[in-house]
Structure 1
Amino acid sequence: MAELSVRQTAIPGLLVIELPMPGDARGWFKENWQRAKMTALGLPDFGPVQNNMSFNAAAGSTRGLHAEPWDKLISLATGRIFGAWVDLRPGPGFGTSVTVELGPDTAVFVPRGVANGYQALEPGTVYSYLVNDHWSPEARASYTYLNLADPTVAIPWPIPLAEAEISDADRAHPLLGDVVPMPAKRTVVVGASGQLGRALLATWPDALPLRRPDFDVTDPASFGGVPWSQVGLIVNATAYTAVDAAETDEGRRAAWAVNVTGLGRLVKTARAHRIPLLHVSSDYVFDGTATSHSEDEPLSPLGVYGQTKAAGDALVATLPRHWIVRTSWVIGDGGNFVRTMASLAERGVKPSVVGDQFGRLTFTADLAAGIAHLVGSDAPSGVYNLTNAGPVMSWAAIAKRVFELRGRPASDVTEVSTAEYFAGKTMAPRPVHSTLDLAKLQASGFTLVDADERLVAYLAG
């Protein structure tokens, strides 16, 4: 008896599965879909939600070529067919074809955007389609079609199409030269109007931006207007970040509403549509007693903001495909600490700045590049620290450096303690040490840029 096996074809992602069929005088048995065994051999864990059956009474019945907006596993219960697949996804593989003859002992995994066509070679052929989205008549509007008789692809149908049973609709499909490739699933950036959101859109210009007030994670109705079935990745860059205001009654409710309840809706959506989720988190999930924080350090948030971010991390970690990117001291296009210090220097103001909190700056262009690297390299699910590299500095030391770069003496900046700076004010407890260990990110192949190099360029821009 043949062993279960999975082999690649000339079309990326199109896989042929050889199925063992033990039997005796009574007939045979096969495992048509066996998640553990098949995924171990390279079949995607594609999350099927519907099983469809199709019957062809006569040999010569031919259907296709249809590229559908979902993945599917095609197999036979009985009979024999000639199968043809054509890549209709954008890219250099567009128009590549593969043909395979199938019986009950062979199945084919067909990825989204690859057209499939089938010709029954025996009467009484019964097909099984296992798909990872629910079919509806309206779904046909998302199909991409190719003519069965296209001369460029030139599928060698065993039974000539002139003698085959073909629907009028299939005969009318366009030739390859007139086919518009099926677009790839889109990346969605939640929180697209923030500093990081703008950097992410610069990295992914074709991404779908979700911004308030049109999309608000605290409003369940917002989720209904997004075509989630056509989304391939969610990047969550939205958060309630008013650290001190979060310690008030109103701020506490708002922080939990955005960072936990709203994020929970994103997690639920990602799970329902099998969408990978990348979530941006914070150094505030730690109490700062360790001088450097690794990804596996137990969470120990001090204040409300940190508590909500820690709870959010726990929610995201329940997804089968996820990345949690922890960062600190973010600087980008918008109001931030560096711009404030530069403005004070230009106006001749001599500020007092906290000198007993330590970490590294993170520039949004590098943060977005690191995020794109994790996604593009298909890095394993999990937590990744992501900041700029370089020496650990205090806020006061960074302020002094900004003043120097603006032509002012570093001595214009007075270094004070956190307790002195916030005396008489409502403040959230802050981690003394916000430095994140970057070894895991570096091991993934991402090249880190020194924070001071970026600071010089940022102030010169």
Structure 2
Amino acid sequence: MTELAVRTTPIPGLLVIDLPVHGDPRGWFKENWQREKMLAAGLPDLGPVQNNISFNQTVGVTRGIHAEPWDKYISVATGRVFGAWVDLRRGPSFGATYWHEITPDIAIYVPRGVGNAFQTLEAPAAYTYLVNAHWSAAAQEQYTFLHLADETAAIPWPIPLEQAELSAKDRAHPLLADVAPVPPRRTLVVGGGGQLGRALAAWWSRRGDVDVVAREHLDIADARSVAAFDFAPYGTIVNAAACTAVDASEAPEGRRTAWAVNVTGVGHLVEAARAHRATLVHVSSDYVFDGTIEVHGENEPPSPLGVYGQTKAAGDQLVATLPDHYIVRTSWVIGEGRNFVATMAALAERGIDPAVVDDQIGRLTFTEDLAAAIDHLLVARPAPGIYNVTGEGEPASWAGIAAEVFALSGHDPHRVTPVSTAEYYAGKDGIAPRPAHSTLDLAKIRATGFVPLDQLTALRDHLSSSHPAAPAEARLAAS
């Protein structure tokens, strides 16, 4: 009896599974699909939602070649078939072929976009396949076909096609030269109107497979808006939407808004990602910590002080239930629009000398760098989980950053007066507690090959239009 094993093929993602079959004079038994054992052996988590059976009465019945918008897990319950596959996905493996005889002790995992065909060698043959999306007429319109006799694929059919039984539709499919390759699933950026959403739109502006949507098109806190949105085309969802009104979140109405967006809304995205087998990228915050530890690693348990931090921590926990996710934890985000750096630069120009807190310590994160890190994670595909992403360099206080802004803008940095948090907020109501230490450990993201920008270098470039920030591609460490 064979041992359960998963073997690779020349087509990326197409896998052969050796199945143990237990037999005696009465017949045989096999575990045709056993999720726990098969995942441990290296099979992707198929997550089947539909089981189909094609019963083939005679030898020579031939079906295909069809590439479908879902993953398939193929086996036979009775009989024997010759299976053939052609990669019809866009990319360097387009046109790659593989074939294998399928008996009860063999199964095949076929990824989305790989053309699938079979020919009955021993009848009757009960050809069964699990799929991880429901069939529909709309889904069928996304099929891609290839002619069974394509000379480029050169599939060695055991029974010559002129002697086989084929449908009229299968006889009419195009040759490989006329096949439009199956594109990868699209990427969705939620929260396109915010600082990070705009940075991601700019970073991916040359890609034709990215859709950036603002709140008016998808309000993640509104169940009706989410239900009306079609997530089916997306293999990646990047959540750049959040309620970041830290102080307003302490008031009754703000508290409800923060929970609606940062928890309920995130929950809606988690459900959508799970249903459509999409990778979810979610942006977290240093506010999930109380700041009593000077440098925060990815494994530190959350300990939020205020409502905003509590909602972000709760959203993180929801995202972590997905098998395929990246939680990008960041701090002190600066991008296009209203932010601390823009405020300090404006005060410097207007001749206003600000008092700024000097006992909250952390690092700036520029949205271009954050967008670059997200792109890097989706390309490099390290293990799912939390990745800290901020600027590099010596941590600084808000007062220290303000002084740098004044100096880089050509103003006297001594115009900035450092004060304690207690002094700054004395006599003010409705102020959320802030973590004293927001510095995040960057060792994990660096280990993936991404080199964050130095925060002061990035600050200088941000303030100087004549010195744009270096592209992140140039900052990737050699693998």
Show CA shifts across 1:344-363 (max 9, x none): 22232222212121110001
Task: Say whether 1:174 aligns with 2:174.
Answer: yes
Deviation larger for 305-314 or 110-119: 305-314
Superposed, 1:225-264 pairs within 5 Å as 225-264=228-267
Which of 264, 268, 271 does residue 271 from structure 2 map onto?
Answer: 268
Q: Which residue of the partner structure matches residue 110 of structure 1?
A: 110
Deviation larger for 265-274 or 56-65: 265-274
Report the CA distance between 1:193 and its aligned residue: 1.7
Q: Which residue of the partner structure matches residue 438 of structure 1?
A: 442
Report the CA distance between 1:423 and its aligned residue: 2.9
- The amino acid across from 1:62 in the alignment is T
Report the CA distance between 1:40 and its aligned residue: 2.1
Which of 324, 348, 366 does residue 345 from structure 1 map onto?
Answer: 348
Q: Which residue of the partner structure matches residue 461 of structure 2?
A: 457
SS in structure 2 at match of 1:228: coil
Q: Which residue of the partner structure matches residue 94 of structure 2?
A: 94
Q: Which residue of the partner structure matches residue 470 of structure 2?
A: none
Deviation larger for 56-65 or 332-341: 332-341
SS in structure 2 at match of 1:29: strand
Q: Which residue of the partner structure matches residue 471 of structure 2?
A: none
SS in structure 1 at match of 2:410: coil
| Structure 1: distance between partners of 2:201 and 2:38 | 37
SS in structure 1 at match of 2:107: strand
| Structure 1: distance between partners of 2:274 and 2:309 | 25
SS in structure 2 at match of 1:308: helix
- The amino acid across from 2:51 in the alignment is N
Show CA shifts across 1:404-435 (max 9, x none): 11111111111122223223333111111111
Which of 361, 364, 372 does residue 364 from structure 2 map onto?
Answer: 361
- The amino acid across from 1:441 in the alignment is I
Q: Which residue of the partner structure matches residue 413 of structure 1?
A: 416
Report the CA distance between 1:201 and its aligned residue: 2.3
Task: Say whether 1:300 aligns with 2:296.
Answer: no
| Structure 2: distance between partners of 1:296 and 1:155 | 51
**Any conservation in 1 of the 2:218–2:229 contact (CA below 8 Å)?**
no
- The amino acid across from 2:436 in the alignment is V
SS in structure 2 at match of 1:32: coil
Q: Which residue of the partner structure matches residue 184 of structure 1?
A: 184
Superposed, 1:329-344 pairs within 5 Å as 329-344=332-347
**Any conservation in 1 of the 2:85–2:115 contact (CA below 8 Å)?**
yes
Report the CA distance between 1:452 and its aligned residue: 0.8
Show CA shifts across 1:222-277 (max 9, x none): 22343323211111111000111111111111111111111111112222222221
| Structure 2: distance between partners of 1:257 and 1:51 | 37
Superposed, 1:16-415 pairs within 5 Å as 16-204=16-204, 205=207, 206-415=209-418
Instruction: With the length of structure 2 as denominator, give the TM-score of the two structures.
Output: 0.93
Task: Say whether 1:448 aligns with 2:452.
Answer: yes
Deviation larger for 90-99 or 223-232: 223-232
Show CA shifts across 1:2-51 (max 9, x none): 22222111100011112222211111111211222222222111211111
Report the CA distance between 1:154 and its aligned residue: 2.2
| Structure 2: distance between partners of 1:202 and 1:115 | 35
Q: CA, structure 1 residues 235+307, in 2 after alignment: closer, same or farther (shift >3 Å)?
A: same
| Structure 1: distance between partners of 2:65 and 2:95 | 12
SS in structure 2 at match of 1:37: helix
| Structure 2: distance between partners of 1:15 and 1:384 | 30
Report the CA distance between 1:90 and its aligned residue: 0.2
**Any conservation in 1 of the 2:75–2:106 contact (CA below 8 Å)?**
yes
What's the % identity of the aligned pairs? Answer: 64
**Any conservation in 1 of the 2:357–2:398 contact (CA below 8 Å)?**
yes
Report the CA distance between 1:279 and its aligned residue: 1.0
**Any conservation in 1 of the 2:360–2:438 contact (CA below 8 Å)?**
yes
Structure 2: state its 5+ residue gaps. 466-479
Deviation larger for 120-129 or 151-160: 151-160
- The amino acid across from 2:60 in the alignment is G
Q: Which residue of the partner structure matches residue 476 of structure 2?
A: none
| Structure 2: distance between partners of 1:139 and 1:163 | 32
| Structure 2: distance between partners of 1:105 and 1:290 | 55
Report the CA distance between 1:112 and its aligned residue: 0.3
Show CA shifts across 1:299-336 (max 9, x none): 21111111111111121122222222211000112221
Give the superposed CA RMSD: 1.5
| Structure 2: distance between partners of 1:5 and 1:307 | 44
Report the CA distance between 1:448 and its aligned residue: 2.2
Instruction: With the length of structure 1 as denominator, give the TM-score of the two structures.
Output: 0.97
- The amino acid across from 2:362 in the alignment is G
| Structure 1: distance between partners of 2:202 and 2:44 | 30
| Structure 2: distance between partners of 1:382 and 1:99 | 36
- The amino acid across from 1:176 in the alignment is L
Deviation larger for 419-428 or 331-340: 419-428
Deviation larger for 23-32 or 315-324: 315-324
**Any conservation in 1 of the 2:403–2:416 contact (CA below 8 Å)?**
yes
> How many matched pairs?
461
Which of 423, 433, 438 does residue 429 from structure 1 map onto?
Answer: 433
Report the CA distance between 1:150 and its aligned residue: 1.6
- The amino acid across from 1:189 in the alignment is V
| Structure 2: distance between partners of 1:267 and 1:98 | 36
| Structure 2: distance between partners of 1:209 and 1:301 | 30
| Structure 1: distance between partners of 2:8 and 2:203 | 31
- The amino acid across from 1:428 in the alignment is A
